[in-house]
Amino acid sequence: MATLLEVSGVSVTFDGFRAINNLSIAMAEPELRAVIGPNGAGKTTFMDIVTGKTRPDEGRVLWTERQIDLLKLSESQIATAGIGRKFQKPTVFEDQSVRDNLAMALANKRGPLSVLMWKASAADRARIQDLAEEVGLAARLDHRAGHLSHGQKQWLEIGMLLAQDPRLLLVDEPAAGMTPAEREHTTALLTRAARSRAVMVIEHDMEFIRRLDCRVTVLHEGSVLAEGSLDHVTQDQQVIDVYLGR
Amino acid sequence: MKIDVSSPAAPAPVRRSFLRDNPSVLWFMGLLGLFTLGVTVLSEGMGVGVISTSLVKVLGMTLCLCLIAVAMDVVWGYCGILSLGHFAFFGLGGYAIGMWLMYARTEIVIRDNLGRGTIPPTEAEVSEAVAAQIFGVVGSSELPLIWSFAGSLPFQLAMVVLVPGLLALVFGWLAFRSRVTGVYLSILTQAMTLALSLYLFQNDTGLRGNNGLSGLQNIPGSLHLPQSVISVWFFWASAFALGAGYLLFAWVVSGKFGSVIKAIRDNEARVRFLGYNVEGYKLFVFTLTGIISGIAGALYYPQAGIINPAEIAPIASIYLAVWVAIGGRGRLYGAVIGAALVSLLSSWLTGGGAPNIDLGFYRIVWTDWWLVLLGLGFVLVTLFFPKGIGGLFDYLVRKS
């Protein structure tokens, strides 16, 4: 297991509030990792930094064995470098079909001219079909994404992430608002994806994390409080204090 | 485990053709062809003479307005950029071709006059006389630098494309790079068109200030032909340009490119995280539509006969947005319907064609009330028919 993502000594301040404070996290490939923490712990801000939405005040974010400095890249460059992100709120393009949503995410060339000339090859169509089957939307390929249920939208978004063929998936609260059956499906999707790539999941729901059965990082006030198996961190006195109040 | 709700997946559809996927394009082309044929047969210049030359011109100009409306629909309805400055590109295209029309025609007339003397005129004399003739009205007799190649049709035709294209490219690059979006971008585009219009109003600009360029209906090389014939030529050219532009834009918005720009309209941040360079796409669309607008303007003003800076005033671009909104955003034929309907209605009601209505206690004079009617129509469409007139087609299709 080689280090895929290395975040070290990162800090960011919003109007005097230190959202991230000297945070260091490393991800291997493949790996499944859960990140938990109370509200305001900096989980989403951390993802914002890795994906280029927020620039940190200090620290380094290095990517792959080639040590690419992610802080110098734009959002779209980071995405094409191999980092995919799923937002907390499902954000699929509701006006367009499931097929078009997936086609847009496919790992093809992204320049305006090559997109203008793009025609779905047999391989592209097969890949879209596979992805749709993977996330359980094969029967809905030609439906408008806006007509999907909440859970199906979440899956479509995960499908779009997989279509990008990223080396690292950042997934923000995938199970929010899902029924138990839908959660189970989501868990299966994520663990399968983590066999060949790095997957980092932010989640509040302890039961969901237990099912993921992976290494857990606890964030608190912008830095890492504890790291280890779920049982290990839940027995940590500091973690108990933070979650249950002092 | 997988949750597959229903039957096994449908097989992937085979590759379909562009026209098969977009039947409305075929319909549009057919109707445009029929309309062109009909007007030609009924025209004064080529046919039985039911349609007067001035009406042929109005119809030809309307087709140009439809073309810029289609461009506006692509940039606003599909890509979500509410540009309130596309008439600046339209006007620049008009100015570019107007310079050639005016220069070349003046040159012919001058050579004719000077040639009557015993000694043939030198090139310098001709050039001076042309300059004095064109710029006398603004108290100058020097040919401004930007008119250096005004006598060359290929050069000015290149300018029709290059000037609007470059302005759109530079303006768009500056605006999109700074991630100016939404209403701020609209205000910026208004500022651009206002600044351009004010700049052109100055005599020093070298485009005859508020006089603008005139006599554009006279085509050098065809001065012997009656306007009735020339009007039909321009009508054909406008119809061809609209057809070609419509086809181009329909193709642009139909495939994955259309998918991406619609996605930018709906959630541009998300598109960035998919790895697309959103600014590049916006710039591409803004510049392409700017160029097509310039071409539309270059066909419009020879039919109008005159162009002046007032044409580029911000209000013109606002009208453009109103046409597209009334016709229906996000569908190309909607933009055509909106532009044709509103601009024809406007010239009918304000041109004295429509009878004023005497209510006894009040007389509705359409020249005064037309803008009220338009404003009211815009509000009603926005409130009750957000899909515009084009949305009616959805309704009809669903019913049948």
Mean pLDDT over A193-222 rounds to 89
- Rounded to the nearest angstrom, the minimum Cα separation between B300 and chain A is 29
**Does residue A184 have a pLDDT over 80?**
yes
d(CA A154, CA A189): 11
pLDDT at A198: 93
Is the minimum CB–CB distance between A160 and chain B shorter than 8 Å?
yes
Q: Tell me which H or E stretch contains A169.
A: strand A168-172
pLDDT confidence bin for B315, thresholds 50/70/90? very high
Side by side, which strands form the sheet with A17-29?
Answer: A17-29, A2-14, A58-63, A68-69
Shortest distance between the Cα of B193 and any Cα of chain A, in A, equals 27
Q: Residue A3 in 3-state DSSP?
A: strand
Tell me the domain boundaries of chain B.
20-399
Q: In 3D, which of B59, B30, B70 has the Cα closest to residue B245? A: B70
Closest residue in B to A162 (Cα) is B274
| Residue length of chain B | 400
Q: Do A136 and B3 touch (CB under 8 A)?
A: yes
| Interface probe with B: pick from A78, A110, A157, A186, most Cβ of B within 10 Å | A110
Higher pLDDT, A153 or B118: A153
Contact A132 B273 (CB under 8 A): no
Give the pLDDT confidence score for residue B223 in this predicted structure. 81
Question: Is A84 within 8 Å of chain B by CB?
Answer: yes
Q: Please write the tens of the pLDDT for every residue from B253-267.
A: 988 999 999 999 999
Query: Which of the residue ranges A53-57, B53-57, B188-192, B357-361 would you say has the lowest mean pLDDT?
Result: B357-361
Q: What's this model's pTM, rounded to 2 decimal places?
A: 0.90
Q: Taking 50 as the threshold, does the pLDDT of residue A9 lie above it?
A: yes
Mean pLDDT over the full length of chain B: 90
Burial of B229 (0-12, 13-18, 19+ CB in 10 A): middle
A77 versus B364: the higher-pLDDT residue is A77
Residues of B in contact with A136 (CB under 8 A): 2-5
Locus of tokens 């598109």? B271
pLDDT digit string (tens) for B125-180? 888 899 999 998 888 888 889 999 999 999 999 999 999 999 999 999 999 999 99
Q: Which residues of A touch B259 (CB under 8 A)?
A: 93, 96, 100, 103-104
**Is residue A184 within 8 angstroms of chain B, CB to CB?**
yes
**In a 3-state reduction of DSSP, which class is residue A205?**
coil
At residue B10, the pLDDT reads 43
Quickly count: other Cβ atoms within 10 Å of residue B206's Cβ: 18
Cβ-Cβ contacts under 8 Å, B262 against chain A: 93, 95-96
What is the number of CB-based contacts under 8 A between chain A and chain B?
106
Give the pair of three-digit tokens for residue A170: 């950042």
What pLDDT does B236 receive? Answer: 96
- What's the gap in Å between the CA of B264 and the closest CA on chain A? 9
Average pLDDT of the segment spanning A128-134? 93
**Interface contact A240, partner B, CB < 8 A:** no
Go through the domains of chain A in sequence order and give each one's CATH number.
Answer: 2-93+166-244 (3.40.50.300)
Residues 103-122 (A) with a CB less than 8 A from some CB of B: 103-105, 110-112, 115-116, 118-120
Report for A42-51, A126-135, B63-72, B374-383: range of highest mean pLDDT = B63-72
| CA B129/CA B103 separation, integer angstroms | 11
Q: Do residues B138 and B213 make contact, with C-beta atoms less than 8 angstroms apart?
A: no
Q: How far is A186 from chain B (nearest CA, A)?
A: 9
The ipTM value here is: 0.87
